[in-house]
């Protein structure tokens, strides 16, 4: 089964069986952040759909926050130990075999060196960095207690950001329904800007 199809099937299953949401969210959050599986199993779509279900009262926000925070925290912890076990040289060879470019590895390493432990909080919000961040940090063999503290803070903020995103999506759709004549043209304009950015600006270097 293709990865895209697996994600779509999971999202549909989540809608039909919200009572199993905690298991599903924990599993996807863990798999995305453990053992470099995030390079193959991005969880964004599943988490966004579940956050919308939270805004509609179908999934408990406490369950949502707890399961995602726990899953991504443990996933990063597993990846940390993977990094400490492999070491820098072997880890970088492994990343290249998995299709991570040298530039991607370099960006992750530079991000860690510039931000230090704070990278565990903000790195989760960067697509290229998020999957490789914990293993690269682990290869530096930092203090595990300090790593765990920042890992926990980052995991909670990561889950919380999706909770806010779900409420935002719900509000936007409510706005479109109640103010069609203003909201629809505005939405089309935003979509056009996004498509333009994807075609012409996505791969441009900022620095």
Angstrom distance (rounded) from CA 140 to CA 83: 8
At residue 11, φ and ψ (nearest 5 deg) are -65, -40
Angstrom distance (rounded) from CA 140 to CA 36: 17
Helix (H, G, I), strand (E, B) or coil at 117: helix
Sign of CA dihedral 127, 128, 130, 131: positive
Convert the pLDDT of each residue in 2-40 to its tens digit: 667 777 788 788 888 888 889 999 998 898 888 777 667
Query: Is 170 part of a structural domain of the chain?
Result: yes
Query: Is 166 part of a structural domain of the chain?
Result: yes
Query: Is 196 part of a structural domain of the chain?
Result: no
Q: Number of structural domains, the chain?
A: 1
93 neighbors 52 (Cβ within 8 angstroms)? no
Q: What angle do CA 99, 102, 103 make, to 5 degrees?
A: 110
DSSP H helix total and E strand total for the chain: 9, 0
Query: Is 171 part of a structural domain of the chain?
Result: yes
Convert the pLDDT of each residue in 100-158 to its tens digit: 777 777 777 777 777 777 888 888 887 667 777 888 888 888 889 999 999 999 999 99
Burial class of residue 103 in the structure, from the number of CB atoms within 10 Å of its CB (0-12 exposed, 13-18 middle, 19+ buried): exposed
- What is the pTM for the complete model shown? 0.74
Query: Is 29 part of a structural domain of the chain?
Result: yes
User: Which range of residues forms the domain containing residue 162?
Assistant: 3-178
Query: Is 185 part of a structural domain of the chain?
Result: no
Query: Is 183 part of a structural domain of the chain?
Result: no
Helix (H, G, I), strand (E, B) or coil at 41: coil
Query: Is 51 part of a structural domain of the chain?
Result: yes
């Amino acid at each position: 089964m293709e990865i895209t199809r697996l994600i779509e099937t999971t999202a549909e299953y989540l809608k039909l069986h919200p009572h199993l949401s905690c298991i599903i969210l924990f599993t996807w959050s863990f798999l995305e952040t453990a053992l470099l599986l995030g390079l193959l199993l991005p969880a964004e779509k599943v988490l966004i759909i579940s956050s919308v279900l939270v805004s509609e009262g179908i999934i408990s926000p406490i369950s949502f926050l707890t399961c995602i925070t726990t899953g991504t925290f443990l996933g990063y912890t597993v990846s940390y130990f993977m990094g400490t076990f492999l070491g820098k040289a072997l880890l970088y060879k492994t990343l290249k075999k998995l299709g991570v470019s040298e530039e991607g590895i370099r960006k992750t390493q530079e991000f860690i060196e510039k931000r230090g432990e704070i990278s565990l909080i903000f790195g989760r919000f960067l697509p290229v960095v998020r999957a490789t961040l914990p293993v690269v940090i682990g290869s530096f063999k930092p203090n595990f207690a300090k790593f765990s503290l920042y890992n926990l803070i980052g995991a909670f903020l990561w889950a919380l950001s999706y909770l806010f995103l779900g409420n935002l999506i719900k509000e936007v759709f409510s706005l479109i329904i109640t103010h069609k004549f203003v909201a629809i043209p505005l939405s089309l304009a935003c979509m056009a800007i996004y498509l333009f950015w994807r075609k012409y600006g996505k791969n441009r270097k900022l620095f």
